[in-house]
A and B are shown apart, each in its own frame.
Chain A
Amino acid sequence: MRADVRDGRELAWRLFLRNVRGLYRQTLLGLFWAFLPPVANTAIWIFLREQGVFNIGDLHVNATLYILTGMILWQAFADAIQMPMNVLTKNKNMLSKLRFSRESLLLVGVGEIVFDLLIRTVLLVLAMAWFGVVPSVAVVGAVFSVAMMILLGATLGILLMPIGSLYQDVGRLLSMVVPFWMIVTPIIYPTPTSFPGTMLNWINPASPFLILSRDLLLMGHSSMWVPAIGWAAITIPMALFGLMVFRISIPVLVERMNA
């Protein structure tokens, strides 16, 4: 598997360049489209908050910056979950006809998520500068946390991919579950400090990484290190298992392509 990943790096890079160049050359607004989803979501929630539709309580930092950060991080996580099924669908033709490192497709998918995240980070940096938030060295911890969050999302997506490619129900269910999952993750409201909200944060795998990343970026400290490290300890072996499932399932899925 390691050899295939190594051999697939060149192909992954080529396919990544193809997708990114192809995507942005076809648009008038280019990179703006990477900014749009988190900005639009943030705008909606800020508007609802300003209208008094809901009261999110004391956030310790500017509400716009808080929600925008959460939205950018959540977008990366949601993209990571959808990524394996998307790459399989987009590359069905190649998968069913040619032999190449299948892992390269996952590398491309992760690369695109990271690329989008980096573009959005520019927006975040501008917003932080605007609101006078200076990041500390704890930002290094945030990078680790974001990486684990993307790995977790991609792993869940990989584990769902084999069934999802056979039954479209999985994709439909996912598109319903992800927005609900976002609501139960503290993105538009403060991190709960009392039971049962605290417990929900511990058992919701997205919460520890997202909260830790946001806290470290905006405040330089966080109380979510323990659950985040716990989930990281689960995520890493789960990711290796996911890669194994991906490898084993591709020939079975290829048998059923063009059937």
Chain B
Amino acid sequence: MRYGLMDLGREILGAGRDRTTEDLRPGEFFAVKDANFQVREGECVGMLGPNGAGKSTMLKMINGLIRPNAGCITINGSVGAMIELGTGFNPILSGRENIYINAAVLGLGKLEVDRAMDRIVEFAELSHVIDEPIKTYSSGMKMRLGFSIGANLRPQLLLIDEVLAVGDVAFRMKCFNHLRELVKSGISIILVTHAVSMLNRVATRAIVFGSGNIIHDGDLETGCTVYEETMGASDRVQHAASPQPETTARVVSAEIVDEGGNPYKEFRTGETIRVRVTLTALETVDRMNLFAALFSPVHGRISAVSTAAHDLDFSIPAGGTICVTLTFENIQLLLGAFYFNISLYGPTSLDFYHRASGVGNFRIVGPPVRSDGRGIEGIAKLPCRWTIDKG
């Protein structure tokens, strides 16, 4: 608050804080730093990142709510925002009255609303209750009404922040169709969401934020996997920071390699992935069992395999090191980021030696998935076939 007072004083006196140098005061940090990107006309960009990564701050800067300390934002045309649906709604007033209020907040004039009123009500599917007080609406109905009003915005750049979880599946599809039409008509959209699976319905490019920096700016598929990886990064940091007790045998490292044995991190569905695990022991240990659990930061554990399950019995000599390789041929994982938790056991499950968590991370970066019900989506592509029996 003291900084706020100081900044206010300087701004009012016309001697605003020097915004070109990095003179952070104690306790301050940059919410966004070194972020450079361009959005072209008719492009829809998904902005991804974990909480606190700087997405909303970026959106506020683009929307002109706050000023960047350094750098500039240039926008050719008007900006509209669907950031918090139903902002300004009064629960006592009817849906119709609130349409005028919310539309005015979003920058639409009365004449525009008069012309669009039937369309808004119809889009929200609320014609039967539009003259009832908003307080009688469910939260989904309020969101639908808010989205329908915002859907009438026609700026050159539309900012959308976490508002796509609107109503039921059918309504969500309608929203995506609407956004696709906007993009086709040349409107640019920046869409902030955590719902990665929905993103490819409308976005073609992803910008991923991590701790205030842009860590990916490019194709959507890679962006989604990078985002998933950032989601898992906090877990891995936590594990890495925890003290590792001395044990008789331990996992030294786990590395992902390609078919040629070279370290690699990006694969496509159907390729071969190898996890090369290096183990060591202080004294000779026999009848070891290596357990590898595959995780997705978003979906959790996907699968786990052990050497015991494949009747592979191995030993580690005293002071020696061995490499155990786990091969996934024709891997059927779909787009996403993945990592392993690898545990080393003796002859029984009670003989636990060591666990390396969040290791061997890799990404599946292609082919693209489709979330419009006309392709393959999800976490894995299961072998299957369709048959038609004529009755």
Contacts and interface: CB of A to CB of B under 8 A. Distances in A.
A binds B: yes
Contacts of B65: 96-99, 251, 254
B104 A97 contact: no
Interface in A91-119: 93-94, 96-100
Task: Using C-beta atoms within 8 Å of the partner chain, give the interface range for chain B.
Answer: 20 to 34
A18 B93 contact: yes
Contacts of B241: none
A138 to B, nearest CB: 39
A201 to B, nearest CB: 31
B93 A249 contact: no
B4 A25 contact: no
B81 A248 contact: no
B12 A249 contact: yes
B303 to A, nearest CB: 40
30 contacts: A11-B105, A14-B100, A14-B101, A14-B104, A15-B88, A15-B101, A15-B105, A17-B97, A17-B101, A18-B90, A18-B93, A18-B101, A22-B90, A97-B65, A97-B81, A98-B83, A98-B106, A99-B64, A99-B81, A100-B107, A162-B8, A163-B5, A167-B1, A167-B5, A245-B12, A249-B8, A251-B66, A254-B65, A254-B66, A256-B4
B79 interface: yes
A32 B100 CA distance: 27
**Most A C-beta atoms less than 10 A away, residue of B104, B107, B110:** B104
**Most A C-beta atoms less than 10 A away, residue of B8, B79, B83, B109:** B8
A99 B79 contact: yes
B343 interface: no
Interface of A: 10-11, 13-15, 17-19, 21-22, 25-26, 93-94, 96-100, 162-163, 166-167, 245, 248-249, 251-256
A176 B7 CA distance: 28
Interface in B88-113: 88, 90, 92-93, 97-98, 100-101, 104-107, 109-110
Nearest to A259: B4
B11 A98 contact: no
**Most B C-beta atoms less than 10 A away, residue of A13, A26, A96:** A96
Contacts of B63: 98-99
A94 B87 contact: yes
A18 B96 CA distance: 12
A252 B115 CA distance: 37
Contacts of B93: 18, 21-22, 25
Interface string B49-78: 000000000001001111100000000000
B219 interface: no
B84 interface: yes
Contacts of B12: 162, 245, 248-249
A105 to B, nearest CB: 11
A252 B84 contact: no
A22 B91 CA distance: 8
A100 B92 contact: no
A50 to B, nearest CB: 41
Contacts of A100: 105-107
Given A18-B93, A163-B5, 8 more contacts: A19-B90, A96-B60, A98-B105, A99-B81, A167-B1, A252-B4, A252-B7, A254-B66
A18 B88 contact: yes
A21 B97 contact: yes
Contact of B105 (A94, A163, A167, A255): A94
A13 to B, nearest CB: 8
Contacts of B105: 11, 14-15, 94, 98, 100
